[in-house]
Amino acid sequence: MKTLTFLVPCYNVSSCVSHCIESMLVNEVLDDIEILLINDGSKDNTLDVLKEYEAKYPSVIRVIDKENGGWGTAINLGIREATGKYLKEVDADDWVSSENLKEYVTFLKNNEIDYIATNYTEYFKKVDKYERHTFQQCIYRKPMSLSNFWEHHPTAWDFPIHAITYRTQVLRDNEIKVGDRYYGDIEYNLYPLPYVKTICVLPINVTVYFRGSDEQSTSTIGYAKHYKDYIQMSQRLTRFFLQTPPSLNPDLYSFIENTIRGTVIKAYELMMSPAYAGKSDGVDNELKQYDHWLKTTDKELYRYCGRKRKHSVAYIRIWRWFGINLLKL
């Protein structure tokens, strides 16, 4: 068994994936890592690039070619196929800090922890700027139970997908599966948490997260373009929460609940605001259907959304009562 699998979903990334792969090819860790490259039906020459690396590093790199299905399908396949004790997802336009891999992999090799969080860097292409992200000093290098973490450090939880490494068996044993397309990273961050027993946060900078496009999924343009994927994701999260046992650590339970509340509120905003999809054909009917779905699925969450305020006005309640969309005024 390898110590770590780097899982890299690939779709039309021939221009950048080499940088990602090269950053992982550190001699000191090659015996301990697997680079699992999943080609999600690319239409350019991405597969040729991946195959060249596989031929050159057959004991390290494995390529899986599949029909296009979306980011989430690559993640779900990677969870099933990974041979590493740990699994870390890295997007093909991101890369890792090569100089820190030896320390990072050595820690993983010598420990059995369900959830590892590490520092990360964001790179903003437009201004050619790197921004490092760290966490509270008091939580570094202290393996602990997840319950103890939430009991003693409830404000320290701020780990995006590029900070997370999971023990692979946690994902596999609990059949973690995310949605096929956009915004599955939110599910990837939340679904395993009820099954995580132990956590450790490391002051090691591992991932460099690339921010270079106005059409990334979390940009205004991206949200407008992919709002239907977001709506479906929020519905899956709502169903997930309804199955979450209340016996979970109270602070963790509240965190999951608040995250899902924010996701559902965002779904309303995407459909109501002209800055996103508010002007799209058919969106008013989609909004009504979503509102009815929420009312029949989770009445408490439905009432909570009605109380949400924007500019001191409960805009969703106003829309429900009077049919007036204040975000369009």
pLDDT digits (tens, 9 = 90+) for 98-152: 999 999 999 999 999 999 999 999 999 989 999 999 999 999 999 999 999 999 9
Which among 277, 70, 298, 80 has a CA at the least distance from the CA of 184? 70
- Residue-wise pLDDT for 235-254, tens only, equals 999 999 999 988 888 999 99
Query: Token digits for 61?
Result: 């790199």
Query: In whole angstroms, how far apart are CA 265 and each of 193, 235, 256, 302?
Result: 22, 12, 14, 10
Q: How many helices (H) and strands (E) does the chain have?
A: 13, 10
**Helices 299-307 & 283-297 angle (0-180, nearest 10):** 130
pTM of the entire structure? Answer: 0.94
Query: What's the pLDDT score for residue 329?
Result: 84
- Residue-wise pLDDT for 45-75, tens only, equals 999 999 999 999 999 999 999 999 999 999 9
Query: Token digits for 72?
Result: 């989430």
Helix (H, G, I), strand (E, B) or coil at 121: strand
* Kind and range of the H or E run holding 201: strand 198-211
Query: Token digits for 112?
Result: 């059995």
* Kind and range of the H or E run holding 237: helix 227-242
- Residue-wise pLDDT for 84-97, tens only, equals 999 999 999 999 99
Amino acid residing at 99:
E
Confidence of residue 213 (pLDDT cuts 50, 70, 90): low
**Helices 250-272 & 227-242 angle (0-180, nearest 10):** 150
Mean pLDDT calculated for residue range 158-177:
97
Query: Token digits for 188?
Result: 């990837």
Residue 321's contacts (CB-CB under 8 Å, 6 or more residues apart) are none
Query: In whole angstroms, how far apart are CA 81 and each of 36, 162, 207, 307?
Result: 8, 20, 22, 44
- Residue-wise pLDDT for 258-308, tens only, equals 999 999 999 999 999 999 999 999 999 999 999 999 999 999 999 999 999
Query: What's the pLDDT score for residue 214?
Result: 61
Q: Supply the DSSP string of 270-309, one letter for each residue.
A: HHH-TTTTTTSTTHHHHHHHHHHHHHHH-HHHHHHHHH--
Query: Token digits for 235?
Result: 């519905």
Amino acid residing at 298:
D
Characterize 226-263 residue by residue with b for buried, 16 or more Cβ atoms within 10 angstroms of its Cβ, and e for exposed. Answer: bbbbbbbbbbbbbeebeebeeebbebbbebbeebbbeb
Query: What's the pLDDT score for residue 208?
Result: 97
Q: Which residue has the tokens 């106005």?
A: 214
Distance CA(201)–CA(114), nearest Å, equals 11
Within a 10 A sphere around the Cβ of 172, how many other Cβ atoms? 14
Helix (H, G, I), strand (E, B) or coil at 85: strand
Which among 98, 118, 95, 81 has a CA at the least distance from the CA of 17? 95
Mean pLDDT calculated for residue range 189-199:
97
Q: Is the pLDDT of residue 216 over 80?
A: no
- Residue-wise pLDDT for 224-238, tens only, equals 999 999 999 999 999
Confidence of residue 215 (pLDDT cuts 50, 70, 90): low
